[in-house]
Chain A
Amino acid sequence: MEFGLSQEQILLQDSVGKFLNDQVPLDKVRQIASGESSDAEVWQGLADLGIPSLLIAEEQGGVGLGSLDAVVIAECLGYHVTPSPFISSAVMAPIALMAAGRQDALAAIASGRHRVGIAFGEAIGARNDAGVVVDGTVLSGKCLFVLDADADAYLIATPEKNLYLIAADAKGVERNNLTTVDKTRTTCELILNNATSELVSDDPEVYLRTLDAGRVMQAADTLGAAQCMLDQAVAYAKQREQFNRVIASFQAVKHMCAEMVANLEPCRSMVWYAGHALDEVPEEARLIACHSKAHLSEVGKFVAKTATEVHGGMGFTDLVGLHYWFKRIGANRQLLGAPELVREEAARIQGLAV
């Protein structure tokens, strides 16, 4: 029995971490966030490491690794607030397409050349003005906060839990960027006007498995981002002096840091297990995915606030850049289901709610 990451997973973590440290430092993130450049270069770099092909089977041109490996990557990307369409194009789209037996696009996705965005919001629960209606395979309506504004195609989920694939430049598709607080990743709206799509799957299981995986990856992204905020807060507290001593020697500050550790450390085991369960314990996977998404949203929110406070006024500035992590964690909380909604789903899975 060994609960933890394998040697290979630790190596993967190290090599991706090293790449992000060297090639995608905060300055680079700032450039992309400000719109000076796109995330294409970063995505190409990650593609050279095999990241977009991680989950795709070897015979389809992928690496054929598992969900826990993807969790390890998501955690790294969160730690470095890396701009990339990882959750949509490297996790959710391949899982959906493989589960649906659709192999045609996988090789292109695996190479990183073809990006597939995710429009699941209308299946999880459409907000004001949003919603999709289907006539055969012809879609009309509006999808909001679709993951990845630069994708080549989109996987759209309908309230019936059917999945449709549509090219970004297809007739009847209008795409507009939606600016959010989290500028490290992009979202858009899709306005569909009798747009012809392809049905990928009418099996709700395919939709749910895809959603579960996306939620676990967001939990892992938050885990990484929160860990980085905690590390920064502890480092800052050890060098910032007030009243002739480093502020890390004040109990008030130490206790804030201890509370962050105490809340975050069990999350690591939870997210690892959630990743493991996606592949190996299917009967538990959905409930654990919901719990992980909701719990990491809460812990992430707490760490994001507390770590910023440890930095005092500097935490509030753009100069230190802590806000990139704060906003990333905030975005992970809302996307693919806010914690209250996901907990209600966890209750339904257990038969505690209708």
Chain B
Amino acid sequence: MDLSFGNEYKVFREEVRSFIEQYKDKQPTQVALRGEESLAWQKLLIEHGYHSRTIPKEYGGYGAEADIIKSRIIAEEFSTAQMNTGLGGQGISMLTPVLLEMGSSEQKQQFIKPTIHGEMVWCQGYSEPGAGSDLASLTTKAELDGDEWVINGQKIWTSSAHVADCIFCLVRTEPEAPKHQGISFLLFRMDTPGIEIRPLIDMTGNHNFNEVFFTDVRVPKQQIVGKRGQGWLVANAILGHERGSLAPPDAAETRLNGVIDLMQTETIAGEKLIDNPVYRDRLVKLQGRAMAMRFNDMRLLSARINKNQDVKLAGMIVKLMSTELRHEIEGLAIDVMGETGLSFEDNPYLRGNGSWQYQYMFFLGLIIGGGTSQIQKNIISERGLDMPKEPKVTK
């Protein structure tokens, strides 16, 4: 067990801290899509290597060598100081890594720079009404007509489709092939004729998801990532990125500290909730779970540096455990507040800008999205424990 990062990293941490010190008061308080202030902040972060750190300079990134410890230090310091970490979203966190790995050089040149600078916003066209957990059964089809793909079908759960410039989309191009081998990964603009977007309001009241309908949408032939029929491989590379990053352990601990603050200020019949042993026990129980996830995460980090460490199972369980944990942390805060915890929207008794109720529901969404908890359990048992798949139903 060696948890020291060495002197080089001590120096690096100091650098990050002095950046934070210098810019703490100059950061935008909110991340606004396409907002001038947000875009300027994004540019500043990239210039200093605190965003898009390992993306090559020629594609608009900072161009540093991949160093997992430095990335971790940046994340830790920004999180502790509650600094604005810049823009996220599916174009930045999911499409960009895939383009770097599998995109053509034209695609890299054309898309990565505007994407990471927040000038080109993406949405992801994966799920369909008939293809959720069984994503590979998707039926939106693309047929080649001359130099263009002609796309027909429907997507659902398309986050940010209503504000996105472009979509990365899974379509069936080889209807005769086995289901995993007949899918392709296309990129196209959302203002292409034939695209209709309908909002899908979620349980928090937010408009984030959409249904997207394609009717004879024509897309240039070369806007495919990878080869025809390879789309499933590309999509899985992205899902790997998504699962690990949904609920990082330091965020869970930050929220738990928020619950402690709440318990030290909220009272019932004059008694602080922290002084009530039943609520306190629930808090400490969750602290224990969060702590186990933190050390699990350290082990995963270590395995990325020390290639001989086997952490297959430790990695597989993260999405399942961390989303369930966050849902319960947020839920404890609501229980701590009792009736006050029901406050919503314009209620004057709202605590924490209503974030507890919002996150409580939001994390239920994350338990379902990106591979439900039940699908995660299939993956753990089948790929992790080598248990056989459910036999196919024969008609």
Contact = CB atoms under 8 A, between A and B. Distances in A.
Helix, strand, loop or mixed for chain B's interface? helix
Given A1-B4, A254-B378, A261-B317, A273 B295 contact: yes
A6 B1 contact: yes
A58 interface: no
A265 B301 contact: no
Interface string B290-330: 01110110110111011001000110110011000000000
Q: Interface residues of B toward A: which range?
A: 35 or more
Contact of A265 (B277, B302, B317): B317
A262 B320 contact: yes
Contact of A295 (B291, B317, B321, B380): B291
B347 to A, nearest CB: 28
Helix, strand, loop or mixed for chain A's interface? helix
Contacts of B384: 258, 261
Contacts of A4: 1, 299, 302-303, 306, 309
Given A4-B302, A265-B317, A344-B281, A295 B288 contact: yes
Interface stretch (B49-57, B85-93, B387-395): B387-395
A273 B280 CA distance: 24
A270 B296 CA distance: 7
Contacts of A347: 280, 283-284
Contacts, number: 163
Interface stretch (A19-27, A38-46, A176-184, A243-251): A243-251
B387 to A, nearest CB: 4
Nearest to B263: A352
Contacts of A288: 291
A289 to B, nearest CB: 11
A205 interface: no
Nearest to B314: A265
A30 interface: no
B13 interface: no
Which of B6, B384, B385, B388 has the most chain A CB atoms inside 10 A of its CB? B385
Interface in B341-395: 374, 376-378, 380-382, 384-385, 387-391
Contacts of A273: 1, 295, 298
B37 to A, nearest CB: 37
Contacts of B64: none
A259 interface: yes
B302 A3 contact: yes
B277 A344 contact: yes
Contact of B380 (A2, A261, A267, A268): A261
Interface string B249-285: 0000000000010000000000000110100110111
Contacts of B376: 258, 262
B24 interface: no
A112 to B, nearest CB: 27
B173 to A, nearest CB: 32
Contact of A238 (B277, B374, B387): B387
B50 to A, nearest CB: 21
A295 B298 CA distance: 18
Interface of A: 1-6, 68, 234, 237-238, 245-246, 248-251, 253-255, 257-259, 261-263, 265-270, 272-273, 276, 280, 288, 291-292, 294-295, 298, 340, 343-344, 346-347, 352-353
Given A257-B381, A265-B317, 13 more contacts: A2-B306, A3-B299, A4-B306, A234-B385, A258-B380, A259-B377, A262-B377, A265-B313, A273-B295, A294-B284, A294-B288, A295-B292, A344-B284
6 contacts: A2-B1, A248-B388, A254-B377, A261-B384, A295-B291, A352-B274
